[in-house]
Amino acid sequence: MSEQGIEKKWYVVRAVSGQENKIKTYIENEIARLGLEDYVEQVLVPTEKVIQIRNGKKINKEKVYFPGYIMIKANLSGEIPHIIKSITNVIGFLGETKGGDPVPLRQSEVNRMLGKVDELALEADANVAIPFIVGETVKVIDGPFNGFDGTIEKINEEKRKLEVMVKIFGRKTPLELSYMQVEKI
């Protein structure tokens, strides 16, 4: 089958947190072993570079950006979803309904996860309604305050950031968070 003939989309595989890179290797090895490289183009663990200071030295470390999630660019036809799901420590696909098919990511979500937000995407996103409103209660899903609820005080559309007032140890504390770090309750 020709390369062009197989349409591939990005999907998110849910995996056991902390094992992302191992699982990525497992998936790649399994796909290679079965000769399915035409169907699975890329397996990616979104990471960000973090600088840590250890004993006064700067160390560049890759930190997994979305713990428990692995991105995969694939054509999930036939047995492929089943093969991927049967890999050790894979929980399943994000967005699949019980017994249903995995749902591919939209291009804007892919760009965001890959950090490739180009001008065009920003312009396209500018027309999209902001998903949050001031006064709305949201849950922090990322960062040190993961799990806390807060109220949106301000919305910075340009930077796609929110100022969220979170009650921490009984005191209200404003946090600046990106849209990706909170979810509606």
What would the DSSP string read from start to end of the chain? --GGGS--EEEEEEE-TT-HHHHHHHHHHHHHHTT-TTTEEEEE--EEEEEEEETTEEEEEEEESSTTEEEEEE---TTHHHHHHTSTTEEEETTPPTTSPPPPPPHHHHHHHHT---HHHHHHHHTSPPS--TT-EEEE-SSTTTT-EEEEEEEETTTTEEEEEEEETTEEEEEEEEGGGEEE-
Closest CA relative to residue 20, chosen from 80, 60, 71, 59: 71
Band of residue 110 on the pLDDT scale cut at 50, 70, 90: confident
- Cβ neighbours for 50, distance < 8 A, ≥ 6 positions apart: 60, 61, 62, 63
Residues 175, 98: one domain?
no
Residues 38, 91: one domain?
yes
Q: Beta strand 40-44 with 69-74: parallel, antiparallel or unpaired?
A: antiparallel
Residues 106, 80: one domain?
yes
- Cβ neighbours for 136, distance < 8 A, ≥ 6 positions apart: 151, 152, 184
CATH number at residue 154: 2.30.30.30
Stretch 66-71: mean pLDDT, rounded? 88
Q: Hey, what are 78's tokens? A: 């036939």
The residue segments making up the domain with residue 62 are 3-124
* 114-142 per-position pLDDT tens digit: 765 444 444 444 445 567 889 999 999 88
CA distance 150 to 27: 38
Residues 42, 77: one domain?
yes
Residues 28, 88: one domain?
yes
* 142-179 per-position pLDDT tens digit: 887 888 899 999 998 878 889 999 987 788 888 898 88
Residues 99, 145: one domain?
no
Q: Given 85, 102, 124, which residue is the final one in a domain?
A: 124
Residues 105, 147: one domain?
no
Residues 62, 98: one domain?
yes
Residues 64, 20: one domain?
yes
| pLDDT of 5 | 66
| pLDDT of 2 | 44
Residues 114, 31: one domain?
yes
Q: Given 84, 100, 124, which residue is the final one in a domain?
A: 124
Residues 59, 139: one domain?
no
Residues 102, 35: one domain?
yes
Q: Given 124, 151, 170, which residue is the final one in a domain?
A: 124
| pLDDT of 81 | 92
Domain count, the chain: 2
